[in-house]
Structure 1
Amino acid sequence: MRPLVVAVNGVTGRMGRTRHLHGALLPLQRSGIRSAGRRRELDLVLVGRRAAAVSQLAREHGVRRWSTDLDAVLGDPEVDVYFDAQRSGLRSGAVTAAIKARKHLYCEKPLALDGAAALELARDAEQAQIRTGMVQDKLFTPGFRALRSVLAAGALGRILDVRGDFGYWVSADAAGRPQRPSWNYRRADGGDFIADLFSHWYYLLAMVGTPLAVSALLATHVPRRHDESGRPYDVDVEDLGHVLVRLHGGVTGVISTSWIQRPPTPFTLTLHGTRATAMATPDACTLSTATLPAPGATPVPRQQPVPMPPQEDEFLSQWRQFLEHVAGDTPFPWTFCYAARAALFCDAIRNSGRRGTWCDVPEDTGDVR
C-alpha cells in the first residue's frame, strides 16, 4: 500500500506551521493512519510562495519534497490530497485548481469570503466526485467534545437559549506587537472579521440547531492600526459583532465576538436547558442547576465538572479523521457543503449589519448534499 501523499500549502504562516504541520501532520507521519484495517504511511509536500522559507521548513523537519509551483504540485499524479491554509483571499483560486486536478481537499476556514463563491466550490467538488473537508477545530477540543457528550445524553433537557462569547485584545499601537497579521484588517487583502470568526460559531451553534435568522450589530472601534513593521494603516474590517440568532426548534441566542475585549477565556458557549445549564470552553465543561429553597430566596447554583475525554491535539484528531475518510470509509460530515452553509450564515450577518434588520439564513443549497 503506497503512502498517502498530502500537499500542504500555507505552512510558513503561524497557523499552518504550528497547528497543522507541528501539531498534526508530522505526528501523523510518524504514526501513520488506518486504511482497510492496516497502517498506511503519510508523505508530505510543502508548498509556499517564498522558496527560502518553505525550503528551510522542509529541511528542519526532514520533509523531502517542497515547491513554490502549485500548478506543478497539483499536476503530480502521486499527490492525493491538497490542504490550503493560505490567507483567506487566496484560497478560492487554489481550491478551484485543485478541484480541476481531482485532488481530495481539506481547508482552513473560511472556504470563501461569500456564500455564492462557497456554493460554487462545493458544487464543483461534488461534480468532480472528490472528498472534501473543512477545519472545525473547536469541536475537537476537550471542552466541546465533553459538551457534545452532554447533548447526546440529553442532560440539559430541552435547549432554550444559547450564549456565546469570544474575544481578545489585539494590540493597536506601534508599541504593541499585533497578535494577528495586519492583512486581517484590510478587506482588499482578504481580511474578513465575519467569515473568520463566525465560521467557528456556525459549527458550534449547529450542535444545538441550524441557524435560521440573525440580527446583527457590527462596528469598527479601532479605525487605525499598526502593521508588523510599526507602520500605521487604515482599517476597513469590523472588530466587533453582537448577533442575535434564531435556531431550529425555537432556540434563541446571542453571540458576542470581538478583537477589542479581554475575557478570561477566548471561546465560551453557554447552553440553558429545562434541566440544567452547560458552560463550555475549549478546555473544560461544567453543568449547573439552580434551586429555590424557599419562595423569594436567591437561587443556589450547583456546579459539577463534566468528565473530560482523553487528551489529544484537536488539529491532529480532525486531520486523522479526514485522512481516514479519504483512505477508507470513516464518516466525515464537515464537507464543503457544510462550509457553504456557514458562508451563507456569514452573508446573513453582514446583510443584517448593513440593513439594521433581521435577515434569514438560506437553508437551500440547491443540488449540493
Structure 2
Amino acid sequence: MINCAIAGLGRWGRALVEAISNEPRLRIVAAVEPDIASAERFRATHGLAPTASLDAVLADPAVDAVLLATPHSLHKTQVIAAAAAGKQVFCEKPLALRRDDAAEMFAACRSAGVVLAVGHNRRFWPSMQALRAVVAGGELGTILHVEGHNSNENSQAVTQGWRLSSEESPGGGLTGAGLHVLDGFVSLLGPARQVYARLNTREAGPPPLDTATLAIEFVNGVSGTLATIRATPFYWRVHLFGTKGSAEVLDEVTMVLRKSGEAPATMRYPAVDTLTAELSAFADAVEGRRPFPMPEADVLATLAAFEAALQSMQIGHPVNCHLACQ
C-alpha cells in the first residue's frame, strides 16, 4: 500500500481523490487545504485527515507520496521539498510555467531517487493512444501537418480564484485546456522549433472571453495550428495529415481515419477512467514495474513550446523554443 497525502482540494483535487478510490494500491491518508471551510464536507465524507501544512505531511514517515493539485506557481517549491523528504510525487499539469523550473524539479527527484509523475490525463484517452499507434505504424505516410483545438466550458463556472489570474494561468485558455493539445502534439511529433502565438481578449470576465491561437513549426518539419477558447462548450480535436491519409481524434473514444481512395472509417474505443489510469501508472512507477508514461523529455518539450507561445503573445513575433527558455 502506498500512503498518499493530497495538497489541494479544489475541483481537480477532489476528482483525484474520487479516482484514487478505484486504485487499491494507493490510499489517501491526509489532506492539505488552506480553505478548510470550503473542503470540510468533502474531507469528512471521504474520511480525510486534515493537515495543517505540506511541511507537516513531508515530515510524516507514514506518508509515502504526495499528490499536488495546487496553483502552478507553487509546484516548484513543493516538488523540490517533497523530493528532499524522500516522497514520491504526482503533480498536476502544468508542472511549471517555465521549462527550466520543470528541469530543476526533475533533477531534484532524480537525485532523491523518487518518481515525478505529471498529470496529463488525456494521454490515457483510448482515442489518443490509438492515434499514436497509427502514427507509429506509418499508416498515414509522411506526416505533414497537425491541427488541434480544445475549448473547455468548465471555465464558465470559475468566477474567482487563482485560475483566473494572468500570473497563474497565462495565455488565456492555453494553460488550462490548450496545454493538453500541445502535449498531445509533442507525444505524436516530438519537440517544437518555433511558435507564433496570439491572444485575443474581449472582456476580462468572469467568464473570460479570450481566444488563443498558435502556429507551430516542429523540429521534424511538420507544421501545426492550435486554438483554445475558455468560454465555449467543451470541444476537442487533434487531426494529423499525412501523405497517405489523415486521422482525427474528436473525443475520448472516437477517431476518424481517412485514407486515399477509401471511405472515412470512424473508430470507437471502450471508455476508461483516465484519472484512475494515470494514478495506476503512478503506482506502477513507484513500485518499479514500469516508467511513468509521460517522459521528462516530453514534459520539457511541451513547456518549452508553451513558454515560447507566451513570449510570442507578448512581443507579437514568432519565438524559437530554445530562445524562450534561456
Q: Tell me the TM-score normalized by structure 2.
A: 0.88
- 2:257 aligned counterpart, secondary structure: strand
Identical-pair percentage: 25
1:232 corresponds in structure 2 to none
Does the 8 A contact of 1:217 with 1:356 survive in 2? Answer: yes
C-alpha distance in structure 2 between counterparts of 1:335 and 1:169, whole Å: 29
2:52 corresponds in structure 1 to 68
Amino acid at match of 1:200: H
Does the 8 A contact of 2:191 with 2:298 survive in 1? Answer: no
Equivalent of 1:358, from 318, 322, 325?
Answer: 318
C-alpha distance in structure 1 between counterparts of 2:113 and 2:32, whole Å: 24
Equivalent of 2:11, from 11, 14, 26?
Answer: 14
1:284 aligned to 2:254? Answer: yes
C-alpha distance in structure 1 between counterparts of 2:104 and 2:314, whole Å: 24
- 1:312 aligned counterpart, secondary structure: coil
- 1:79 aligned counterpart, secondary structure: coil
1:137 corresponds in structure 2 to 121
Deviation at residue 100 of structure 1 after TM alignment: 2.1
CA 1:71/1:321 → structure 2, altered by over 3 Å: closer, same or farther? same
Amino acid at match of 2:163: N
Equivalent of 1:253, from 209, 224, 240?
Answer: 224
Does the 8 A contact of 2:151 with 2:229 survive in 1? Answer: yes
Equivalent of 2:200, from 219, 224, 227?
Answer: 219
C-alpha distance in structure 2 between counterparts of 1:363 and 1:337, whole Å: 17
- 1:212 aligned counterpart, secondary structure: strand
Equivalent of 1:272, from 241, 253, 277?
Answer: 241
CA 1:324/1:132 → structure 2, altered by over 3 Å: closer, same or farther? same
Correspondences of 1:134-213 after superposition (within 5 Å): 134-168=118-152, 178-182=156-160, 183-188=162-167, 190-192=168-170, 193=172, 194-206=174-186, 207-213=188-194
C-alpha distance in structure 2 between counterparts of 1:365 and 1:359, whole Å: 10
- 2:175 aligned counterpart, secondary structure: helix
Does the 8 A contact of 2:32 with 2:52 survive in 1? Answer: yes
Deviation at residue 50 of structure 1 after TM alignment: 3.1
C-alpha distance in structure 2 between counterparts of 1:259 and 1:54, whole Å: 26
CA 1:286/1:133 → structure 2, altered by over 3 Å: closer, same or farther? same
1:304 aligned to 2:262? Answer: no
Aligned length: 321
Does the 8 A contact of 2:134 with 2:140 survive in 1? Answer: yes
Does the 8 A contact of 1:122 with 1:340 survive in 2? Answer: no
C-alpha distance in structure 1 between counterparts of 2:323 and 2:292, whole Å: 21
Task: Report Cα offsets for 1:219-278 as digits up to 9, x if no partner.
Answer: 2222x3248xxxxxxx7xx8321111111321111111122445xx52100111111111
2:292 corresponds in structure 1 to 332
1:244 aligned to 2:199? Answer: no
C-alpha distance in structure 1 between counterparts of 2:291 and 2:324, whole Å: 23
Amino acid at match of 2:310: R
Gaps of at least 5 residues in structure 2 are none
CA 1:338/1:209 → structure 2, altered by over 3 Å: closer, same or farther? closer
CA 1:254/1:135 → structure 2, altered by over 3 Å: closer, same or farther? same
Amino acid at match of 1:266: Y
1:36 corresponds in structure 2 to none
C-alpha distance in structure 2 between counterparts of 1:79 and 1:336, whole Å: 25
Equivalent of 2:78, from 94, 100, 105?
Answer: 94
Correspondences of 1:74-85 after superposition (within 5 Å): 74-85=58-69
CA 1:51/1:260 → structure 2, altered by over 3 Å: closer, same or farther? closer
Task: Report Cα offsets for 1:26-51 as digits up to 9, x if no partner.
Answer: 111xxx24xxxxxxx64532221133
C-alpha distance in structure 1 between counterparts of 2:152 and 2:271, whole Å: 25
C-alpha distance in structure 2 between counterparts of 1:73 and 1:164, whole Å: 40
